[in-house]
Structure 1
Amino acid sequence: MSDKRSGFKKQMDRSIDYAAVLEQIAGYAAFSRSVAMIRNAMPLETVQLAREQLDFVQEGMEYVRLGKDLSMGGVTDIEPFLDSASKSIVLLPGELNAIALFLSAVRRAVQAFEEEREPRLAEYAATMDPCDKLRKKIEAMIDLGGDIKEDATPTLYGRTQALRQAKADLSVFARGYTKQHATRLMDTTTTTIQGRLCVLAKTPEKNSFGGMIHGTSQSGMATYVEPREFVVRNNKIQSLALEIEEEKRRICRELTAQVAASALALGSDLETMTFLDTVMARAKWANRYDGCVPKFQTRDHSFRFAHARHPLIDEQKVVANTYASQKDQFCLMISGPNMGGKTVTLKTIGLFVVLAHAGFPVLAHDAMLPWYTSMWFDIGDDQSIENNLSTFSSHMSKIARICQAANEHTFILLDEIGNGTDPLEGASLASAILAYLIDCQSTIVTSTHYDQVKEFGKADLHTLVSSVEFDVETLRPTYRYLPGISGGSFAFAIASQLQLEPAIIAHARTLKEENMKESQKALERLEIEQKEVMKKQERFDVLIQNAHRIQKEAEAEKQKWIGKRETLEAEYEHELEAMLDEKREEARAILAKMKNHPEVKVHEQIESLHAINDLAPEQKEEKAAKETFAVGDYVHIDSLNAHGEILEIRKKQATVLTNGMKVNVKTNVLTKMKRPNVPKTAPKPRLERVTKRFPLELNLIGMRVEEGLNALDRYLDQAIVHKAISVRIIHGMGTGKLRKAVWDDLRKRNTVKSFESAGPNEGGLGATIVTLK
């Protein structure tokens, strides 16, 4: 940031609490880089850039309002790791894991937004490269704790297993060794010195073990000895450990090289994720405090901040006000008693102007303002001992620079203009300065308590005089903004409440009357009338606020009922599915009864089929309405898992010929299908009539394996008797056990010529077509 911009940032931080508000917004950001970007935010160069960012924030606010959240879990600033990788500095496992976590967040962000609802955010997020290959490679080798996995490579896995086995072998050997030499040892336990297993030998016996001596106990009675039998095994363990570390370093080098190769894409992803996080932080802040996205207009000087609230004032205590000026009002003048809220009003307006120009939302119900190319602030006491400047001199020095730079695109904030010197001279100077700035057509927001300045404002067509309200009964400011009314000092009321002699107050009033001009008296009478109008306006504003609150509550209630409706629909679907399962079980029971009792008459079978059809619920009316049927159509009967040809249709009922039987069913359980291509035979007329009465398919669904095989055995015997050429066995897909058992049984039968899975329109893998000899 240049010195000029840095100085302007400091001026805003000091004058309008800009830094404190940015810090509040930064609290909603997910990681350090986006936090820093928010803290350093400055007004943008052009209105196009500001509008573009505010459009992103608008979509973000809608995204948050719907209860969604852009997951930034695991995102960190990976720029230092990318710099290291680009310089061939090997990254540590934890740093590589941070990159993998970052890429996981990138992948989530790419899929987070809907193109129809959040087109800008969706398009912006789609520009990122999730680098899936790199992420998967890192995840395959490094765990979430930032450690290299044992099975990251076959080499690492083999050496890790070898190390574990070597340690186990040494441990077993050491237990036997210590038992064998217990008389020369202080203790039969072992210990590890610098990664090497040792025994605790009696000091006089220390040289009898060979090997290496690693130290002596404090008492001198025991010595840490690595026996010669341990040396080779310890060397092997340390050698394996070194090989493992070298393999881990090689893995890190390999992954670092891949990170370096993808550094450009990763850097771009980081910039995009940072911007998305700042957008969502701004959106969350605005949503939390009921803010809005400001709009820019370039027609005139008018601005409006409706129901504005300063972010740093307790939301339970802050007083919302509407600040506005018309197109020909270049100056907004605010008056009122000291400590009455004038400075807060100035700071709120100035803060909202800067936030809008920096692409941030504001805490208001609605906001509209012009685009300014420069902004100036003169708030507070800038007395300088170093430069020998008094408060007045400091203000005048700054105002001189403002006047030199002022033009029609300048926004100026002046607190207590002309203060700090002789009241008459100060008021005269203030009026002259304001007149000059108004001639420049700058937008000026100022405060004053000088009557002469207020009179100037009342007389000037381009100035709106307003005030902040003061309660004379409680002697406290209400912080309510009163446009069009200049505020008094309330000195007499305050003196009366503080028990000053009534005679003194009366004398003071007389002196005031004598010194007041007729114009001032007329202004006072006008302000009394204006206050009456304001009371009516306030009642109207209360109604507007209540309407806004009711609207928000209604929207929240709507969302609640939408959620309840979705829950009820899900529960209904679940209950419907459960009911269908129950009906299917009843259907299977009826079918089983028909199959297990071949002696049942044909008309009784038809009645059973009708009973199955009646079990189907009425949930397919819509399907029936969409699909039409005609006599001759070949259809699948959903409720029976059978198929056949339509012989007759009456309204919503159809007569279908299936398996040699006529069945009356509702059209909402029918689905058109391709007529199966069953090989035609030319049997004798007598046998053909017999075959027609024999069902050409067997349904085993719902049966256990043993039960199904028994039914298959009986059915195939009947098929041979009836001279059937081809039959269809329906076993379903399920776990595949019944299908396997059926195929195993068919392979053993010498009456079966061939068998194969049914076609897509005949049941697919859930059915088998059997050709008999």
Structure 2
Amino acid sequence: MNERALRVLEFNKIKEMLKKYTCTQASKDIIDDLRPYNNIYEMEEHLEETKEALQLLSKKGSPPFDGIFDVRGTIKRAGKGFLLMPGQLLKIAAVIRCARKFKEYIKHKEEEESYKVIEDICEGIVPLKTIEDSIFMAIVSDEEISDKASTALYNIRRALKDKNASVRDKVNSFVRTYSQYLQENIYTIRGERYVLPVKSEHKGSVPGLVHDQSSSGATLFIEPMGLVNLNNEIRELMLKEKAEVQRILEELSKEIYDNIDLVENNSKIVWELDFIFTKAKFASELNCICPSVNENGIVDIVEGKHPLIDPNLAVPMNIYLGKDFTSLIITGPNTGGKTVTLKTVGLLHIMAMSGLMIPARENSTVSFFKEIFADIGDEQSIEQSLSTFSSHMTNIVDIMDKADESSLVLFDELGAGTDPTEGAALAVAILENLRKRKVKIVATTHYSELKAYALKSQGVENASVEFDVETLKPTYRLLIGIPGKSNAFEISKRLGLQSYIIEDAKNSISSDNLRFEDLIQNLQEKSIKAGEDARKSEMLKLQVSKIKSDYENKLKRLDSSREKLLIEAQKESKRVIKEAKEEADEILKNIRDLERMGYSSDARRKLEEERRKLKDRLENMEGKLENSKKDKGKVLHEIKLGEEVFLPTLNQKVIILSKPDNKGEVQVQAGIMKISVKAEELRQCDSKSNINKKSVKREAKLNFKSVSSSVDLRGMDSEEATYRTDKYLDEAYMAGLSEVTVIHGKGTGILRKAINDMLKNHPHVKSYNLGGYGEGGSGVTIVIIK
């Protein structure tokens, strides 16, 4: 794609808007490199990934990008074998965790809709939970290594704690002993050694080593001789601690180095996923849709809006070409929206060709163009001595050289800036040449000659931007099939120009021109209505086709789920019956044991009789289970259309809609569903039978409400926070979230305790724990939902 079109159509502003939704600088760099793709297959795949990401946002809430960082520089250091600092290791672990959680995020049930493109991307993720756990267990924060990092470190720090306690006791004793020689009755630390602040005149009274002196020279910081050995031991332990921390960091850095290819691959996938979900968030914010795509030059944008105009102010635009005509000539008054129409068509195509969804209505269609050329705006150059006309012609010459059948060309005020007669003739010649090459063209003009050219040329269509004569303001609506009417006489009359002047002006215009203007006015309403009706019909046809396809897919999934549920139900029934028999035998065995201890033979006879009854009843149940399909009603010997019969597998009555086919299957109506079943499964309806006539209500609850992956309770009291968390967990459970974050803050810990007490017995909670590094620490609780 040529850079001029991208600049003129302001694609760079769209990329800046995209960057607001990213989580890392790495995805911003991907956006900087974003350009329209070179073939329709890439275009369709990247549009599909954006659509799937939008569906995931709607169904599962925010993706697990919490706490991730741009660690490209750190990974590069690790790949060269450098020692990584605690903060760097934590950031790498956060990215590894994000990659692993994403595989869980995209999981779905077999009968649910899949996310093929994103699943293929995530297929390359290799979970590195061992490394992830090692880092999070060993490192507490950017500056602190956990005591649990190793047994040696734990022992060193415990010994250090004990030594510090001993030296504090000892130094306090020295403070009391030498209090009369001290500036203050306290001890301090210099060079990581405990010292006393001794007055300089009494330095001989406190035997020890001088470590420092105050700026005034009045105080000497002396380490008493009795502390030297203890301080030496503490210093030795501190050196051991430092060495052990160094060893732990080296070990963790080596783990990253040994798996550097996997770490780098996982991180690249995370950046790509961040970019994909950035596109989805952008689409959600602007109410975008995924358009249909073709490479035949067919464009049909329904209620499209320019993405850089305030959605509340932008007027939806319908524009189409490529089927009945390949060139569209737009006329109308200045500030009427002609240039915005050109830019909207061009920018929406560049967005779609870059994998971005577009702000339009469903059933919109865009085409894949190898090139989009735009001659829009005034680019006169003082340095190059180019006038407005010259600068336009320089660009048009380049377009004429390069445009072909797979190009879209946008001309704004073609032929303007020179003599109107010559400019109009030149514009017609340019348009005709490109039309013969089958180039797709949208052009704006003020020349009446171009209106006439569009009327008499095949494959060229007039269009205009509507102007409201009553309010003397443009409506910004695009009317295809109607050339723009000047409305000069009506506007002048409303502005107060005398009638006799307007009449004189009309008399000076030929009758042919006046009839032409009247013809435009008469055709306008009819053409608009016919065009809208045809487009609505086409849209409805597409919607019906899509709905039909969706319901066929749902029916297939329903049939699959039904069979699976029936098989599982039968297995469960067998298991229950088996357990009941075993339990009954165990009870009777225990009773016989009791009988040996004193029951009479009469009691034994009665027990055996009850056992026999129980056994017969269980066997009868098992037999019914095995023959449920055969025993539920009489076999149907004749298939009659419209007859009401019973279908045991659904436990309800159905109506026969067709005769058996070559597979022995018939189509039946079950409630609102039409399904195919084997004819041998159908049974006669018996009014005296004990068939459960109560209809089985089947509901498919689809929760499209977007539920956040976290709830913020800070500032609430315990009662309010508990109520809010309970309500939020219900919503998260219904939305199908597997993991959520409850933000309660650190504070005094009262709110955290109240929330944790409630979570212990909550029916939706599988487990919970305090957040780790990068998740909020003790200020949040991570909840795993059943």
With normalisation by structure 1, the TM-score equals 0.68
Does 1:636 pair with 2:581? Answer: yes
User: Which amino acid counterpart does residue 221 of structure 2 have in structure 1?
Assistant: Y
CA-to-partner distance for each residue in 1:156-211, whole Å, 9 max, x for gaps?
Answer: 22222222222222111111110011111121111223433222211201243243
User: Could you tell me which residue of structure 1 aligns to residue 124 of structure 2?
Assistant: 127
CA distance in 1, matches of 2:572, 2:128: 49
Quickly say closer, same or farther: Cα 1:634–1:252, change in 2 above 3 A: closer
CA distance in 1, matches of 2:507, 2:384: 45
CA contact (8 A) 1:642 1:658 kept: no
CA distance in 2, matches of 1:536, 1:437: 30
* Residue 15 of structure 1: how far off its partner (Å): 1.5
Does 1:662 pair with 2:610? Answer: yes
For residue 363 of structure 1, give the secondary structure of its aligned residue in structure 2. Answer: coil
Quickly say closer, same or farther: Cα 1:146–1:637, change in 2 above 3 A: farther
User: Could you tell me which residue of structure 2 aligns to residue 346 of structure 1?
Assistant: 342
CA distance in 2, matches of 1:670, 1:191: 89
Does 1:107 pair with 2:103? Answer: no
User: Which amino acid counterpart does residue 293 of structure 1 have in structure 2?
Assistant: C
User: Could you tell me which residue of structure 2 aligns to residue 528 of structure 1?
Assistant: 521
Quickly say closer, same or farther: Cα 1:455–1:167, change in 2 above 3 A: same
User: Could you tell me which residue of structure 1 aligns to residue 388 of structure 2?
Assistant: 391
**Count of aligned pairs between the two proteins:** 581
Does 1:452 pair with 2:449? Answer: yes
CA contact (8 A) 1:60 1:280 kept: yes
Quickly say closer, same or farther: Cα 1:66–1:167, change in 2 above 3 A: same
* Residue 547 of structure 1: how far off its partner (Å): 9.3
CA contact (8 A) 2:349 2:367 kept: no
CA contact (8 A) 1:303 1:326 kept: yes
CA-to-partner distance for each residue in 1:387-421, whole Å, 9 max, x for gaps?
Answer: 22122111110110110011111111111111222
Does 1:468 pair with 2:473? Answer: no
Equivalence map 1:367-516=2 (5 Å): 367-511=364-508, 513-514=509-510
Quickly say closer, same or farther: Cα 1:538–1:333, change in 2 above 3 A: closer
CA contact (8 A) 2:481 2:528 kept: no
CA distance in 2, matches of 1:531, 1:508: 24
For residue 364 of structure 2, give the secondary structure of its aligned residue in structure 1. Answer: strand
* Residue 285 of structure 1: how far off its partner (Å): 2.7
Quickly say closer, same or farther: Cα 1:68–1:547, change in 2 above 3 A: farther
CA distance in 2, matches of 1:373, 1:59: 26
CA contact (8 A) 1:71 1:108 kept: yes
User: Which amino acid counterpart does residue 484 of structure 2 have in structure 1?
Assistant: G
User: Could you tell me which residue of structure 1 aligns to residue 651 of structure 2?
Assistant: none
* Residue 281 of structure 1: how far off its partner (Å): 2.4
CA distance in 2, matches of 1:467, 1:457: 12
CA-to-partner distance for each residue in 1:486-507, whole Å, 9 max, x for gaps?
Answer: 2234444444444445544444
User: Could you tell me which residue of structure 2 aligns to residue 334 of structure 1?
Assistant: 330
User: Could you tell me which residue of structure 1 aligns to residue 153 of structure 2?
Assistant: 156
CA-to-partner distance for each residue in 1:738-761, whole Å, 9 max, x for gaps?
Answer: xxxxxxxxxxxxxxxxxxxxxxxx
* Long gaps (5+) in structure 2: 548-568, 591-603, 624-786
CA distance in 1, matches of 2:341, 2:210: 82
CA distance in 1, matches of 2:606, 2:32: 77
Quickly say closer, same or farther: Cα 1:538–1:331, change in 2 above 3 A: closer
Equivalence map 1:715-734=2 (5 Å): none
User: Could you tell me which residue of structure 2 aligns to residue 169 of structure 1?
Assistant: 166
CA distance in 1, matches of 2:25, 2:575: 63
For residue 382 of structure 2, give the secondary structure of its aligned residue in structure 1. Answer: coil
Quickly say closer, same or farther: Cα 1:629–1:256, change in 2 above 3 A: closer
CA contact (8 A) 1:644 1:659 kept: no
Equivalence map 1:221-236=2 (5 Å): 221-236=218-233
Equivalence map 1:282-361=2 (5 Å): 282-298=279-295, 300-361=296-357
User: Could you tell me which residue of structure 1 aligns to residue 245 of structure 2?
Assistant: 248
Q: Paired residue for 1:363, among 348, 354, 359?
A: 359
Does 1:48 pair with 2:41? Answer: yes
CA-to-partner distance for each residue in 1:137-159, whole Å, 9 max, x for gaps?
Answer: 22221235563212211222222
* Residue 319 of structure 1: how far off its partner (Å): 1.6
User: Could you tell me which residue of structure 2 aligns to residue 769 of structure 1?
Assistant: none
Q: Paired residue for 1:186, among 169, 183, 186?
A: 183
CA contact (8 A) 1:634 1:643 kept: no
Q: Paired residue for 2:17, among 24, 42, 54?
A: 24
Comparing 79-88 with 143-152, greater Cα deviation is found at 143-152
CA distance in 2, matches of 1:33, 1:268: 14
Quickly say closer, same or farther: Cα 1:218–1:485, change in 2 above 3 A: same
CA distance in 1, matches of 2:579, 2:213: 97
CA distance in 2, matches of 1:441, 1:130: 52
Quickly say closer, same or farther: Cα 1:221–1:105, change in 2 above 3 A: same
User: Could you tell me which residue of structure 1 aligns to residue 667 of structure 2?
Assistant: none
Quickly say closer, same or farther: Cα 1:185–1:463, change in 2 above 3 A: same
Quickly say closer, same or farther: Cα 1:256–1:455, change in 2 above 3 A: same
User: Could you tell me which residue of structure 2 aligns to residue 744 of structure 1?
Assistant: none
Q: Paired residue for 1:137, among 111, 134, 137?
A: 134
User: Which amino acid counterpart does residue 47 of structure 1 have in structure 2?
Assistant: I
Greater CA radius of gyration, 1 or 2? 1
The percentage of aligned residue pairs carrying the same residue is: 28
User: Could you tell me which residue of structure 2 aligns to residue 702 of structure 1?
Assistant: none
For residue 358 of structure 2, give the secondary structure of its aligned residue in structure 1. Answer: coil
* Residue 626 of structure 1: how far off its partner (Å): 6.2
CA distance in 1, matches of 2:290, 2:222: 77
Equivalence map 1:559-638=2 (5 Å): 635-636=580-581
CA contact (8 A) 2:330 2:462 kept: yes
CA distance in 1, matches of 2:148, 2:11: 53
Q: Paired residue for 1:258, among 255, 259, 276?
A: 255
CA-to-partner distance for each residue in 1:715-741, whole Å, 9 max, x for gaps?
Answer: xxxxxxxxxxxxxxxxxxxxxxxxxxx
User: Which amino acid counterpart does residue 172 of structure 2 have in structure 1?
Assistant: R
CA-to-partner distance for each residue in 1:13-33, whole Å, 9 max, x for gaps?
Answer: 532221222232333333222
User: Which amino acid counterpart does residue 386 of structure 1 have in structure 2?
Assistant: E
For residue 134 of structure 1, give the secondary structure of its aligned residue in structure 2. Answer: helix
User: Which amino acid counterpart does residue 337 of structure 2 have in structure 1?
Assistant: G
* Residue 128 of structure 1: how far off its partner (Å): 0.9
Equivalence map 1:545-556=2 (5 Å): none
CA distance in 2, matches of 1:377, 1:136: 55
Q: Paired residue for 2:276, among 279, 299, 305?
A: 279
User: Could you tell me which residue of structure 2 aligns to residue 61 of structure 1?
Assistant: 54
* Residue 58 of structure 1: how far off its partner (Å): 2.8
Quickly say closer, same or farther: Cα 1:422–1:195, change in 2 above 3 A: farther
Does 1:75 pair with 2:71? Answer: no
Does 1:205 pair with 2:198? Answer: no
Quickly say closer, same or farther: Cα 1:671–1:277, change in 2 above 3 A: farther
For residue 636 of structure 1, give the secondary structure of its aligned residue in structure 2. Answer: helix
* Long gaps (5+) in structure 1: 555-621, 646-655, 674-773
CA contact (8 A) 2:5 2:372 kept: no
CA contact (8 A) 2:131 2:255 kept: yes
CA distance in 1, matches of 2:310, 2:420: 36
For residue 408 of structure 1, give the secondary structure of its aligned residue in structure 2. Answer: coil
Quickly say closer, same or farther: Cα 1:371–1:244, change in 2 above 3 A: same
CA distance in 2, matches of 1:275, 1:442: 35
Does 1:89 pair with 2:71? Answer: no
CA contact (8 A) 2:485 2:517 kept: no
Comparing 326-335 with 179-188, greater Cα deviation is found at 326-335
Quickly say closer, same or farther: Cα 1:231–1:659, change in 2 above 3 A: farther
CA contact (8 A) 1:466 1:486 kept: yes
Quickly say closer, same or farther: Cα 1:234–1:418, change in 2 above 3 A: farther
CA distance in 1, matches of 2:442, 2:128: 52
